[in-house]
Structure 1
Amino acid sequence: MTAPAAAALTALVAVLGLTAARGVHGRRTACTTSDLLVASRGVTPWWNASAIGGEYISAASFLGTAGLVLAYGADMLWLPIAATAGHVLLLALVAAPLRSSGAYTISDFAEWRLGSRAVRHIVTGCVCFIGWFYLLPQYQGAGVTLRVLTGAPAWTGWAVVVAVTLALVLSGGMRSITAVQAVQFWVKLAAVAVPAVALLGMWHMSGGGHGPLGDGIPRFERTTRVHVRTDVTVTVPADVTVTARGRVDGARHHGDPVRLPAGRHTIARGTDVVFPAGTAAPHAEQLPVQDGGTWATPFGRGEEHGLYRTYSAMLGVLLGTMGLPHILMRYYTSPSGSAARRTAAFVPVLLALFYVFPTLYGTLGRIYAPDLLMTGDTDATLLLLPRRMLPGTPGALLTGLITAGAFAAFISTSCGLAVAIGGTLAQCARRTGPAAFRAGVVAALAAPLALLPAIGPQGAAGLVTMALGVSACSLCPLLVLGIWWRGLTPAGAAAGLLTGGGLAITAGLTRLFHTAAPGWPAALLAEPALLIAPTAFATTIAVSLCSLHFSPPSGPRGPSIVDKCVRLLHRIRLA
C-alpha cells in the first residue's frame, strides 16, 4: 500500500472514530420526537451556526469548488459568493419567522400557514427531490475520494457514507448529529486551510515564476503519464507526439508513438497516454481551453450564452439556499426566533472563511494538475495536489488531512439531509415516534443509490447546483410569500409549487439522463433558475389573487390557523 493510500485510510478511520465519539451523548439522550427532529430546541447560536456550516459545506464546496475554479476560472467565484449571500437573505427574511412558527419541518410550516393537506404533500415531494439530488454528490464524492487515493471501487465510498449516516441518524436523530456537524465544520476548515498554507509556501519557495496567470494554457511540467478511466473526447490545443497504450481515435496502440494534431480526439477507457514535458494539456471536450488571462477574467472565455448561465446559476444558488430543507431544519433547533436570527448572522462569516481556500487549490491546480483537465476528473484537484507538490511523507500526511475533511463533508451533509427527508416523510404520514422517523431515513438514503449506477460520472458542484435550482423554484417562493404576504392562498401555493418545482425537477432529471442539444436547450437545462423561479413567483401570486375571494371554507381549524399566522406576521413587522 502506498503512503498516500495508508494516510487516507488512517484519516478515514480517525474521522469515523471522532464521529462515533461525538454522537454517543446524543444517542443516549434522544428518545422523543422533539429530540429526533429538532434536538429539543435547545441548541445555542454559535454551536448551531457551526453545525449549519458543517452541513452546508458538502462535496460541492469541499471538492467541487476547487475543480470548477481549475476548469472555468474566475466565473466560478460567483457561486461561493452567492451561497454566502443566500444565508444573508435567509437571515433577513426567513430564519426568525420560521422558528417562531413552532413547526418541526417545512411541510409542517406549509400546513400551519395554509391549513391545506394537499399543499403539505406537494411540499413533501419537493423536499424529497431536493434532498435526493443533494445526496447524489455526497455519494459520488466519497466514491471519487477512495478511488483516487486507494484505487477502491466507487461503491465502497457510497457504502461508507450510507453506513455511517444510518448509524448516527437512526440512533440519535438531530440531537445526535448536531455535535457531529459542529465539530466537523472545524475539521473541514483545518483540512483545507493547513494544506493550503503549506502548498502556497512550497509554491513560493519554488519561485512561482511560472504562475497560473501566465499567457499560455496549462502545460505539463514534466513527462506525465495520464490513465484514462472512462471514454473521453478531448481537445488538443497544439500538435504533439505522445506514447499511447490503448485505443486512440479508434486505433489500438501498444506503447508506440502517436502524433495528435491540434483538434478533437477520442481516447478509450483504460488507455495510458504519456505526454512530454512542456506539452500543452489537452482538455475534455466539455471544458473550455483558456489561457491565463481568459481564465482570470469573468465572462472572458466567450462561452455560448455564458452571461445567462452565470446569472442563472447565481440566482439558483442565492434563492435555493433559502429553501434547503436540511439547512432550514437546523433553525427549528434554536430556543427562540432571536436565537435563530443570531445563528443566521454567524453562518455567512464561517462560510466566507472557508471558501477562501478551495479557490487557492483551483489556482494551483493549473500548474500542478493539468491532466485533470484532460480526464475531466476535476473534483480530484484537492486530493492530488499534496502528492504532486510535496512527494513523500509530507504530501502523504497532507493528503490524509484532506481525506479527513472530505469525509467529514460527505457524512455531515448526508446526516442533515437524512434527518430532513426522514422527518418530513414521517410527519406527512401523520406518524410520530422513532419508528416512523427511522423508516423515513432509510427511504431517504436508499433512493439516490438506485440512480447512481445509471447517471455515470457527474461533477459534485453541478449536482448540488441542480438541487439548489429545485429549491429556488419551489420552496423559496412558498417561504418568502408565506411569511411576508397575507394574500397567499392554498391554491396559489399549490400552483406555484407544481409549476416551479415540476419544471425544475424535470430539467434536473433530463440533465442527469440525457445530453441536451447545443445552444439554448443545453443552457436552459443546465441552469433553469433564471427562467423558472420568476415564473413560480408570478404563478403563486396570480393564482392567489384569483382564488382569494373564491376559496372554499377551510374547515373548523382553518380560521384559527390563518388568524394565528396574521398575528405572527404583525409581530414580525413591528419587531
Structure 2
Amino acid sequence: MSATQLSAVAVVLVSLVTLAIGTWGLRVSRTTSDFFVASRTVRPGLNASAIGGEYLSAASFLGIAGVLLVGGAEMLWYPVGWTAGYLVLLVLVAAPLRRSGAYTLPDFAEARLASRAVRSACSLLVVAIAWLYLLPQFEGAGITLAAAIGAPEWVGPLVVGAVVLANVSSGGMRSITFVQAFQYWFKLTAILFPAVVLLVVWWGDGRPGPASAMSDGWSTPVADGGGIGLYTTYSLILALFLGTMGLPHVVVRFYTNPDGRGARRTTVVVLGLLGLFYLWPPLYAGLGRVYGERILAEGRSNVLVLALPRAMIEGLPGELLTALVTAGAFAAFLSTSSGLAIAISGVITQDVTGRMVGERRRGGVTAFRLAAVVAVAVPLAAALVLENVGVAESVGLAFAVAASTFCPLLVLGIWWRGLTTPGALAGLAAGGAGAGGAALLAIAGVDADGWAGALLDQPAAWSVPLAFLTMAAVSRLTADRVPAHARRFLVRLHTPESLELDLT
C-alpha cells in the first residue's frame, strides 16, 4: 500500500470512528437539554477529556510546531498561554458561571443584566468568534489532505464539514461529549508515539544539532526587536491568558457539569491534559531544526508535523507514522469544529428563533439541527474562497477578540455589582470593534509596517484595557441603572451548592 493510500485510510478510519461514536451517543440524546448541555450530567473526568479534545485544534496540532520552527523559542508563548488561560478561568469564572444556570454566554448576560440588547450583542459576538475560529480548522483540513494524499485543498474542508454536521445534528452536546473525549486521547497518541520514535532516531544518529542554515533564531530572545517586539510579546500573552474564558465552545462545556465544584475539578484536570499534550509540538520543532531544512525551504512549515516522519525515516515505518499523525490532525479539526458548531447552533436556536424551546418539544431539536447547517456552511464557504489564512495566527486573533469582549463582561459581571446594561454594551462595542476590526483587516490581507502593523497584528494590549475601562466608566456614569436583582444574583453565583442545600 502506498503512502498516499495509508494516509487516506487513516483519515477515513478516524472519520468513521467519529461518526460511529456520535451515532452511539444518539441513543442517550432525547431532550433539548441533552442537545444543549448534556442535561448537566457530565462528570469532571469525561468533561475534561472532551474539553481537551475540542480545545486542541489545528493551531495546537499543526500550528505550534510550524511557528516554533520559523519564529524560534519566542513562539513558546502560544502553548504556554493556551494552557495558562485555564488557570485564569479556574480562579475567576468556572464555578460561578456554572451556578448561573445558563445554557450559553448570551443566557448568562441576559440573566445578569436583564437586558435583551446585551443578549443580542453577545449572540452576535459568539457567532463571530466561533466562525473566526472555525475558519482555520477548515483551512488546516485542506492543508493536511493536500500534504498527505495530494488531494485538492477544497476536499479537506468539505469532508470535515460533512462529518461535523452529521455528528452535531445527530446527538448535540451529549453525543459530541463522547466523540471529543475519544479524540483527545487519540490526538495525544497520534502526536506522542511518533515523537518518541523520532526522538529515538535522532539519538541513534548521534544527536546532531540544528542545520547551519537554520541555527539562527532558535534561541531568539523574548521581545527581540526593541519596543515593538516587547509590545507584541505582552499583547500575545494578554490575548492568550484572557481569551480562553471568552471562547464560546470552551465556556459552554462548563454548563454541562453537575455543579460548580465539578466545574472547578474539570478545569484542574484540563490543565494537566493540556500540559501533557503541549510537551510534544516543541519537540517536533526542535527536530525540524535538524532534519527539516528542506521543509522550511519549500515553505511548508505549517505541515512540519506531517512531513517530519518521512524526512527522518524512509520506507514503510515513516509512512505509517505519517498516516498516524495525519489521522491525529484530522481528529483535531473534527473535534474543535464540532465544539464550535455546537456553540453557534445553541445561540442561533435560542436567539434567531427568538425563544427557548421546552425540553420535551421536538421542535427545539429540529431548530437546533437547522442552526447547525448554518453554523457549518458559512465558515466552510469562507474557507473555500479565502487562501493563506495562517492557522496559528487566525486562532490568536480569535483569542484577542474573545479577550476584548467576553472576558470583561464575565469578570465584571461575576465580581462587580455595579455593572450596568449601557456599560456592558459600550464595553462590548469598544473591545469588539477594536480587536474585531484588526482581525478583519488581517484576514483581508492588509499589511502594515512598524507600530501600525504591530497594533493590528496583536491588538489585545490596547483592546482589552479599552474594553474594561469603557465598561467600568460607562457603568459608573449610569449607576442608577444597576439591575435590582444584581446583589441577589451575585450571591447565587458565589454560594457553593452544598451550602445552598444546608440552608434549605
CA distance in 2, matches of 1:570, 1:62: 36
Kindly provide the CA deviation profile for residues 334-391 of structure 1, in whole angstroms up to 9, marking residues without a partner as x.
0111111100111111101000100010111122222333343311000000111111
Check if 1:568 corresponds to 2:492: yes
Could you tell me which residue of structure 2 aligns to residue 486 of structure 1? 417
- Structure 2: 5+ residue stretches without partners: 358-363, 500-504
Could you tell me which residue of structure 1 aligns to residue 243 of structure 2? 320
CA distance in 2, matches of 1:106, 1:123: 7
Could you tell me which residue of structure 2 aligns to residue 423 of structure 1? 346
1:17-28 aligned at under 5 Å gives the runs 17-28=16-27
Check if 1:399 corresponds to 2:310: no
1:77-226 aligned at under 5 Å gives the runs 77-209=76-208, 211-212=209-210, 216-218=212-214
Could you tell me which residue of structure 1 aligns to residue 51 of structure 2? 52
Check if 1:296 corresponds to 2:219: yes
Name the aligned partner's letter for residue 446 of structure 1.
A
Decide whether the 8 Å contact of 2:65 with 2:282 is kept in 1: yes
Name which of 485, 490, 512 aligns with 2:443. Answer: 512
Name which of 253, 262, 269 aligns with 1:346. Answer: 269
Name which of 290, 295, 298 aligns with 1:367. Answer: 290
Change in 2 beyond 3 A, CA 1:444/1:511: same
Check if 1:444 corresponds to 2:368: no
CA distance in 2, matches of 1:533, 1:570: 25
* Higher mean displacement: 396-405 or 15-24: 15-24
Kindly provide the CA deviation profile for residues 171-221 of structure 1, in whole angstroms up to 9, marking residues without a partner as x.
100011000000110000000000000001001111123x12x6x332xxx
Kindly provide the CA deviation profile for residues 38-86 of structure 1, in whole angstroms up to 9, marking residues without a partner as x.
0111111010000000010000000000001100110011111111110
CA distance in 2, matches of 1:217, 1:531: 37
Could you tell me which residue of structure 2 aligns to residue 307 of structure 1? 230
Could you tell me which residue of structure 1 aligns to residue 465 of structure 2? 534
Name the aligned partner's letter for residue 61 of structure 1.
S
Decide whether the 8 Å contact of 1:484 with 1:569 is kept in 2: no
Kindly provide the CA deviation profile for residues 298-356 of structure 1, in whole angstroms up to 9, marking residues without a partner as x.
23753781111111111101100111110010000001111111001111111010001
SS in 2 for 1:154: coil
Cα shift at 1:492: 0.5
Number of equivalences = 491
Decide whether the 8 Å contact of 2:224 with 2:230 is kept in 1: no
CA distance in 2, matches of 1:301, 1:366: 20
CA distance in 1, matches of 2:497, 2:160: 43
Change in 2 beyond 3 A, CA 1:303/1:207: farther
Could you tell me which residue of structure 1 aligns to residue 391 of structure 2? 460
CA distance in 1, matches of 2:487, 2:415: 14
Cα shift at 1:574: 12
Could you tell me which residue of structure 1 aligns to residue 434 of structure 2? 503
Decide whether the 8 Å contact of 1:105 with 1:423 is kept in 2: yes
TM-score (ref. length: structure 1): 0.83
Name the aligned partner's letter for residue 42 of structure 1.
T
Cα shift at 1:132: 0.5
Name the aligned partner's letter for residue 9 of structure 2.
T
Cα shift at 1:444: 1.3
CA distance in 1, matches of 2:54, 2:239: 19
Decide whether the 8 Å contact of 1:187 with 1:405 is kept in 2: yes
Name the aligned partner's letter for residue 98 of structure 1.
L
Name the aligned partner's letter for residue 247 of structure 2.
L
Kindly provide the CA deviation profile for residues 449-492 of structure 1, in whole angstroms up to 9, marking residues without a partner as x.
23224431122100100111110000111001100110001111
CA distance in 2, matches of 1:511, 1:539: 25
Name the aligned partner's letter for residue 217 of structure 1.
A
Cα shift at 1:398: 0.4
CA distance in 2, matches of 1:571, 1:31: 31
SS in 2 for 1:295: coil
SS in 1 for 2:418: coil
Cα shift at 1:570: 5.2
CA distance in 2, matches of 1:71, 1:528: 22
Identity of aligned residues (%): 51
TM-score (ref. length: structure 2): 0.94
Kindly provide the CA deviation profile for residues 146-165 of structure 1, in whole angstroms up to 9, marking residues without a partner as x.
00111110110001100000
SS in 1 for 2:268: helix
Structure with a larger share of its residues in strand: 1
Change in 2 beyond 3 A, CA 1:35/1:409: same
SS in 2 for 1:217: helix
Kindly provide the CA deviation profile for residues 413-460 of structure 1, in whole angstroms up to 9, marking residues without a partner as x.
000000001101111133431122122211111111232244311221
Decide whether the 8 Å contact of 2:143 with 2:156 is kept in 1: yes
CA radius of gyration, larger in: 1
SS in 2 for 1:316: helix
Name the aligned partner's letter for residue 45 of structure 1.
P
Decide whether the 8 Å contact of 2:223 with 2:233 is kept in 1: no
Change in 2 beyond 3 A, CA 1:573/1:310: farther
Change in 2 beyond 3 A, CA 1:514/1:21: closer
Decide whether the 8 Å contact of 1:166 with 1:442 is kept in 2: yes
Structure with a larger share of its residues in helix: 2
CA distance in 1, matches of 2:311, 2:490: 60
SS in 1 for 2:213: coil
CA distance in 2, matches of 1:94, 1:300: 30
Decide whether the 8 Å contact of 1:304 with 1:519 is kept in 2: no
CA distance in 2, matches of 1:337, 1:449: 35
Decide whether the 8 Å contact of 1:108 with 1:427 is kept in 2: no
Check if 1:384 corresponds to 2:304: no
Could you tell me which residue of structure 2 aligns to residue 284 of structure 1? none
SS in 2 for 1:474: helix
CA distance in 1, matches of 2:165, 2:2: 30
Change in 2 beyond 3 A, CA 1:71/1:573: farther
- Structure 1: 5+ residue stretches without partners: 219-290, 553-557
Runs of 4+ in 1 over 4 A off after TM superposition: 572-575
Decide whether the 8 Å contact of 1:3 with 1:392 is kept in 2: no
Name the aligned partner's letter for residue 106 of structure 1.
L
Q: CA RMSD in A?
A: 1.8
SS in 1 for 2:42: coil
CA distance in 2, matches of 1:427, 1:321: 23
